[in-house]
Amino acid sequence: MIRTRFAPSPTGFLHIGGARTALFSWAYAQRHNGQFILRIEDTDLERSTQQSVDSILEAMTWLGLGVDEGPFYQTLRMDRYKQVIDELLNKQLAYHCYCSKEELDQMREEQKAQGLKPKYDQRCLHNPVAKPGVAPVVRFKTPRGGSVVWQDLVKGRIEVSNAELDDLIIARSDGTPTYNFCVVVDDWDMQITHIIRGDDHVNNTPRQINILQALNADVPIYAHVPMILRDDGQKMSKRTDAVSVMQYKNMGILPQALLNYLARLCWGHGDDEIFSLEQFIQWFDMDNVSTSPARFDIKKLFWVNAQHIKQTANQDLERLVLEAWQNQDTDYSKTVLNKVAELTHIKLVDILEIVKPRADNINALAFECGYFYHKIEVNAEDATKYLTEDGLRILDQFAHSIAAVNNWELAEIKQLIKDFCKLYNLKMPELGMPLRLKLCGVKETPSFDAVIYTLGKSEVLQRLNCK
């Protein structure tokens, strides 16, 4: 059975690149009826925080990337790491090293002076001298000669000569295991078959494969996916870019849109731009993952989001819009929420039907729905320009026409508007501008026949002050 994992270090929130890696690992498991495991790599006690763990879990839930097993926490597996370290020491596949920092520095300087690549010279392997009072580190005995080769599912064949690799420290002098070692033991114990991760980990892979082989463990298949950069090709930065997944939620991005965008950013299926998660699972393969770094384009993300908003059922959008108002917690949003409860004849699902082609995020959608319940205060400039004496006279006459409508149908209202403009020799905007401002408080709304129809007769007349 195919088993993949996502293994974030909880040293910050879940970022865009992490979400992409999680998505690919999750989708690969789904695609092959496999299992997806979540592992929290929290051994770096200084940088790991519970807050980061919580925010990663929150983001995974929001994205809808459910796990089959986990989360597992490395800090809860210390005994197991220790056991494997002892096993390697017993089998002489690892050894104690007593070298002090000064000794190692000197070794490095001498090697550099001789034009050699600095590397531990294995003096404690060949000539172990326990130093009283010095707690040793444990080093892994990297095979001499030969090389590590793997067929990366994204990057193709990769070969690294063992001569390039140091005898890496797998346990510090206080006994705590190091990063690469924990990853290996976990991937082994958790029977991970496919490791899909960012290509910033390519350098770790030969080290990890050597340890796996020393443990007689099956070596998983690796797929190193390229980094996601800013649109100017620079690395994304926490300070200047929205890198946290949850920031996108706050911007009104739908999780399915973010996943669609991230999938498409690093992978392709012909010309398909907009797809559901179900489609993605069916189509996803490693052959079509791009090999070069991707560039994050926020405008494109909003475009993808707009397409998903259009495809989302009005009932689901209703829930999101209500949630957006609740989260805004402003006087305006509170009033809107009260009016939603009060004006029961104005159905949010009906409003959504007409406003959803206009919004590229949920906050904008909430804005567009809001003025149906409570008109926005007209700004002074628009008032002076459009709510002139002439404008108001037109609206007054229009209100009389509206008052006379018996059959409240969209077609009827459309016809009335046409007849009204003809009768008073008006161009559409001459009626439309003051009308929109008076009804909604803004100049841009969906077509005003639909707005009038949705608001209902009494609400229209009340807003036109001519009940």
Q: Which stretch binds ligand GLU (CB under 6 A): 4-12, 130-138, 232-240, 418-426?
A: 4-12
Instruction: Identify residue 233 by its one-letter amino acid code.
Output: G
CA-based nearest residue to 289, from 229, 245, 224, 235 = 224
- On whether the CB atoms of residues 263 and 284 are closer than 8 A, the answer is yes
Residue 356 binding ligand GLU, by CB under 6 A: no
Cβ-in-10-Å burial (0-12, 13-18, 19+) of 200 comes to exposed
Does position 73 interact with ligand GLU (CB under 6 A)? The reply is: no
**Residue 390, exposed/middle/buried by CB under 10 A (0-12, 13-18, 19+)?**
exposed
The single residue among 8, 34, 206, 226 that binds ligand GLU, judged by CB under 6 A, is 8
Nearer to ligand GLU, 289 or 337 (CB): 289
In the bound state, the residue with its beta carbon closest to ligand GLU is 197
Cα(131)–Cα(103) distance, rounded to whole angstroms?
13
The smaller minimum CB distance to ligand GLU, of residues 72 and 95, is found at 72
Q: How many residues bind ligand GLU (CB under 6 A)?
A: 7
124-133: long-range contacts at Cβ-Cβ below 8 A with a sequence spacing of 24 or more? 124/95, 124/96, 124/97, 124/98, 124/99, 125/95, 125/97, 125/167, 128/95, 128/96, 128/98, 129/98, 130/96, 130/98, 131/98
Q: Where do we find the tokens 């009940």? A: 467
CA nearest to 173, candidates 222, 75, 124, 100: 100
**What string marks each residue from 9 to 28 as x (binds ligand GLU by CB under 6 A) or -?**
x-------------------
Of the pair 201, 300, the CB lying nearest ligand GLU is at 201
Nearer to ligand GLU, 35 or 305 (CB): 35
Contact between 217 and ligand GLU per CB under 6 A:
no
Q: Which CB atom, from 197 or from 356, has the smaller least distance to ligand GLU?
A: 197
Indicate the residue among 246 and 416 with the shorter CB distance to ligand GLU.
246
Q: Does residue 201 belong to the site contacting ligand GLU (CB under 6 A)?
A: yes
Is 186 a binder of ligand GLU (CB under 6 A)?
no
User: In this complex, which beta carbon is closest to ligand GLU, that of residue 183 or of residue 340?
Assistant: 183
- Judged by DSSP in three states, 62 sits in helix
Q: How far is the CB of 299 from ligand GLU (least distance, A)?
A: 28
Chain-centroid distance of CA 95 in Å reads 42
DSSP three-state, residue 44: coil
Which of 3, 4, 7, 140: binder of ligand GLU (CB under 6 A)? 7
Six-digit token pair at 277?
């998660």
Among the listed residues 37, 65, 183, 253, the single contact to ligand GLU using CB under 6 A: 183
Output 26 or 398, the one with its CB closest to ligand GLU.
26
Task: Compute the least distance from the CB of residue 255 to ligand GLU, in Å.
Answer: 21
Q: Which of 197, 207, 224, 438 binds ligand GLU (CB under 6 A)?
A: 197
**Bond from prior residue into 177 cis (ω within 30 degrees of 0):** no
Contacting residues toward ligand GLU, per CB under 6 A: 7-9, 41, 183, 197, 201
